[in-house]
Amino acid sequence: MRQIILDTETTGLNARTGDRIIEIGCVELVNRRLTGNNLHFYVNPERDSDPGALAVHGLTTEFLSDKPKFAEIANELRDFVQDAELIIHNAPFDIGFLNAEFSLLGLPPFSEHCGEVIDTLVRAKSMFPGKRNSLDALCDRFGISNAHRTLHGALLDSELLAEVYLAMTRGQESLVIDMIGDADEGDAGGGKRVKLDTLELVVLTAAPDELAAHEALLDGLDKSVKGTSVWRTQPAVENASATADVQIA
């Protein structure tokens, strides 16, 4: 699965009143692994940034004056995200600006060229209701170092968000994916890959002396609680064949 973590910096907060994109950063994930195949542009917005926005990103009009205009990078950006799943923090903001830029060029909306859009801000609010869920706050929560982030930058923020997203969605299924891998994928470490669906779990049955020790332990528990311990309130296995069906990993 191909995913693109995307972030933008802009001259202000409102694309409808003429604010423009000045930086775009895209970081590629394939099957939850960073590929290093990233895309990054500074863009000449042909206008000044609002003072508040300038304080956030630090990209001056002078610095951006010799950078390509959005029309010059639109095709490359569109091709890079084509059909990929996008991961964005506060997605309506970035998608709104990208759609506005494409509209100025008479092109179909940017959102028509990508697949599903995952908003990590929405997901974070669901996971941590009532808490701060800015990118910095999530980095702190997941133990991701952002000490080098003194100003906002689209590529840096995308790289941090990639780590945050992987931490937010890390579960047992990701471990299974990492262990199985693709059947035809080479192993750089030289070791053998194990397909979990081919493993047979060993069936272990208790020996008579082990059963006797178990009963003695339960007798001790019954005595300590002056009654029947919880372990004897569970349904008993009725026959040996049923016992043999219990697999212990």
> What local confidence, expressed as pLDDT, does residue 248 receive?
40
Residue 109 in tokens = 């909306």
The DSSP call for residue 110 is: G
> What local confidence, expressed as pLDDT, does residue 214 receive?
84
> What local confidence, expressed as pLDDT, does residue 210 receive?
86
Ranges of residues in the chain whose predicted pLDDT is under 50? 172-190, 237-249
Q: Is 152 a catalytic residue?
A: yes
Contact 75/113 with Cβ under 8 angstroms? no
- 3-class SS of residue 6: strand
> What local confidence, expressed as pLDDT, does residue 51 receive?
94
| Residues β-bridged to residue 30 | 2, 33
> What local confidence, expressed as pLDDT, does residue 38 receive?
96
**The residue count for the chain:** 249
Contact 166/33 with Cβ under 8 angstroms? no
- CA 15 to CA 45: how far, in whole Å? 12
How many alpha carbons lie under 13 Å from residue 175 in its C-beta half-sphere?
2
Q: Over 123-149, what HEC string results?
A: HHHHHCCCCCCCHHHHHHHHCCCCCCC
> What local confidence, expressed as pLDDT, does residue 200 receive?
65
Which domains, ranges and CATH numbers included, belong to the chain? 2-180 (3.30.420.10), 208-244 (no CATH)
- CA 101 to CA 107: how far, in whole Å? 9
pTM of the model: 0.67
> What local confidence, expressed as pLDDT, does residue 89 receive?
96
- CA 30 to CA 180: how far, in whole Å? 15
How many alpha carbons lie under 13 Å from residue 242 in its C-beta half-sphere?
5
Contact 25/170 with Cβ under 8 angstroms? no
Distance spanning both ends of the chain, measured CA to CA? 31
- Annotated catalytic residue: which of 57, 113, 152, 214? 152
Q: How far, rounded to the nearest angstrom, does the alpha carbon of residue 61 sit from its chain's CA centroid? A: 34
> What local confidence, expressed as pLDDT, does residue 68 receive?
97
Helix locations, the chain, DSSP H: 51-57, 61-64, 70-81, 91-104, 120-127, 135-142, 154-168, 172-180, 208-225, 240-244
User: Which of 180, 149, 135, 145 is closest to 32 using CA atoms?
Assistant: 180
> What local confidence, expressed as pLDDT, does residue 224 receive?
66
